[in-house]
């Protein structure tokens, strides 16, 4: 990686601002930890601030000062959620002048010269817009994106921090469900709904349970179309044969005309309201009513993105790493980039960090490659294992205290 300084070669003294954005991951707080600890080592950075609830907080000048002497900072590695507060605020250079002016004034007031935003593709666009506005004001500030999303759908990076810990939770939860169901001679049709509106990266990780002898019978991802009749026929065949059936579905499955499953089949409850809940609940009822089988549905819901009980050590290390690297490149006066992860080798697993233009990565989606999908058998093939297995490796030590997660409690 060749670093080219964008502006002055002189040292720029100033303060740092960090924000969390979008849905939390198990390791978003680990990236904050990496960034902060690296910042505390530098001479250029004087004060470190985190936005309280991202841009929503920034606009209200609600900032949290991070204390170098805070001995609890390492607990960020054990803490679920986005502990400094996240937001889903989007910003547009052409339309949101008022907000951008306000942001600029806060940056000036707090002498923010290093700005880091931790999020997915929407968030990368947000940094891009803010940076563009700051440039238009000739305000010197280095703006770097720190990647984060359980969905693993950012382009130009081998994977995203957060994905692996969710994938690990899913693979092992599927193992648990399989073994629990096989405690009985006759089990149920188990339907597990996994996050992923547009991509099947997370749902694919359910296939890793095969290595434990806990292979899901059917896996449906949004990269292919879902046919209800074919699904029902397959479930019937499997359950009649084995008296067990384990199905994993992405929340975003859709038919061949790209219509999401639940839009086609609006379910109204006793109150005549649209029934809440996702596709697993719908499919569970469909199977139960069609065949009378014992069924059970699972929505892994936010448990899969808040997994702090058994996260991947590789994931935590890489999350810390992208935070540290973000700081390093900003100090080199690089701006408008997102840190990426490049896989150097698989065995042993080795990575390096790299950079990509925000402009390139924003608002784009990386889909599960076709070669991983066995659409004839509605499953994921073993090529995917080579990709995913190295990412979920390793366990944290000492992240519990008296049996409870030893979390970072925000004093605010």
Catalytic residue list: 151
Binding mask 66-95 for a copy of itself (x = CB under 8 A): -------------xxxxx-xxx--------
CB of 298 to a copy of itself, least distance (A): 6
Q: How far apart are CA 298 and CA 101, in angstroms?
A: 46
Our CB check for a copy of itself shows the closer of 7 and 290 to be 290
Q: Which of 7, 95, 179, 381 binds a copy of itself (CB under 8 A)?
A: 179
Q: Does 31 bind a copy of itself (CB under 8 A)?
A: no
Give residues with Cβ within 8 angstroms of 1, minimum separation 6: 352, 353, 354, 355
Q: Does 251 bind a copy of itself (CB under 8 A)?
A: no
CB of 224 to a copy of itself, least distance (A): 26
Task: Identify residues 196-215 at the interface with a copy of itself (CB under 8 A).
Answer: 208-209, 211-214
CB of 35 to a copy of itself, least distance (A): 18
Tokens linked to 190: 């188990």
Q: Does 276 bind a copy of itself (CB under 8 A)?
A: yes
CB of 290 to a copy of itself, least distance (A): 10
Tokens 């499955």 correspond to what residue?
A: 253
CB of 157 to a copy of itself, least distance (A): 20
Q: Does 347 bind a copy of itself (CB under 8 A)?
A: no
Long-range Cβ contact pairs of 171-176 (< 8 A, separation 24 or more): 171/205, 171/206, 171/208, 171/209, 171/392, 172/209, 172/310, 173/300, 173/304, 174/206, 174/208, 174/209, 174/214, 174/216, 174/246, 174/248, 175/209, 175/212, 175/214
Identify the CA nearest to 194 among candidates 220, 216, 214, 218: 220
Our CB check for a copy of itself shows the closer of 2 and 185 to be 185
For β-strands 245-250 and 218-220, DSSP reports them as parallel
Classify burial at 305, counting beta carbons within 10 Å of its beta carbon; exposed 0-12, middle 13-18, buried 19 or more.
buried
Our CB check for a copy of itself shows the closer of 52 and 325 to be 52
The sign one gets for the Cα dihedral 103, 104, 110, 111 is: positive
Q: Does 383 bind a copy of itself (CB under 8 A)?
A: no
CB of 4 to a copy of itself, least distance (A): 36
b or e along 321-333 (b: 16 or more beta carbons within 10 Å of the residue's beta carbon)? bbbbbbbebbbeb
Our CB check for a copy of itself shows the closer of 43 and 403 to be 403
- Count of positions on this chain that bind a copy of itself (CB under 8 A): 78
Our CB check for a copy of itself shows the closer of 44 and 277 to be 277
Binding mask 282-321 for a copy of itself (x = CB under 8 A): --xx--xx-----xxxxx-xxx-xxxxxx-x---------
Q: Which of 177, 204, 219, 326 binds a copy of itself (CB under 8 A)?
A: 177
Q: How far apart are CA 279 and CA 235, in angstroms?
A: 15
């Amino acid at each position: 990686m060749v670093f080219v300084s964008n502006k002055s070669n002189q040292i720029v003294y100033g303060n740092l601002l960090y924000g969390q954005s979008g849905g939390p991951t198990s390791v978003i707080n680990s990236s904050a930890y990496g960034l902060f600890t690296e910042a505390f080592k530098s001479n250029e950075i004087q004060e470190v601030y985190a936005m309280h609830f991202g841009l929503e907080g920034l606009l209200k000048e609600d900032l949290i000062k991070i204390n170098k002497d805070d001995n609890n900072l390492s607990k960020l590695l054990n803490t679920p959620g986005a502990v400094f507060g996240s937001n889903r605020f989007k910003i547009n250079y052409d339309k949101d002048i008022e907000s951008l002016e306000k942001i600029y004034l806060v940056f000036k007031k707090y002498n923010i010269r290093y700005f880091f935003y931790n999020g997915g593709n929407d968030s990368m666009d947000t940094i891009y817009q803010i940076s563009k506005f700051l440039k238009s004001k000739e305000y010197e500030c280095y703006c770097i994106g720190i990647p984060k999303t359980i969905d693993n759908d950012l382009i130009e990076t081998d994977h995203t921090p957060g994905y692996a810990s969710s994938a690990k939770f899913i693979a092992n939860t599927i193992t648990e469900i399989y073994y629990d169901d096989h405690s009985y001679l006759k089990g149920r049709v188990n339907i597990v709904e996994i996050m992923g509106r547009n991509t099947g990266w997370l749902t694919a990780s359910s296939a890793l349970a095969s290595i434990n002898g806990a292979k899901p019978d059917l896996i449906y991802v949004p990269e292919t179309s879902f046919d209800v009749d074919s699904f029902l026929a397959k479930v019937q065949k499997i359950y009649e044969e084995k008296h067990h059936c384990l199905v994993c579905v992405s929340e975003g499955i859709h038919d061949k005309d790209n219509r999401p499953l639940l839009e086609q089949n609006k379910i109204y409850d006793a109150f005549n309201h649209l029934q809440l809940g996702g596709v697993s609940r719908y499919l569970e009822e469909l199977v139960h009513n069609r065949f009378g089988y014992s069924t059970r549905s699972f929505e892994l819901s936010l448990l899969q993105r808040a997994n702090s009980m058994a996260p991947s050590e590789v994931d935590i290390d890489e999350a810390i790493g992208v935070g540290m690297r973000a700081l390093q490149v900003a100090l080199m006066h690089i701006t408008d980039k997102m840190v990426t992860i490049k896989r150097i080798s698989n065995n042993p697993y080795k990575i390096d960090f790299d950079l990509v233009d925000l402009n390139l990565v924003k608002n784009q989606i990386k889909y599960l490659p076709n070669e991983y999908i066995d659409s004839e058998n509605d499953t994921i093939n073993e090529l995917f294992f080579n990709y995913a297995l190295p990412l979920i490796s390793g366990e944290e030590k000492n992240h519990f205290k008296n049996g409870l997660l030893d979390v970072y409690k925000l004093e605010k």
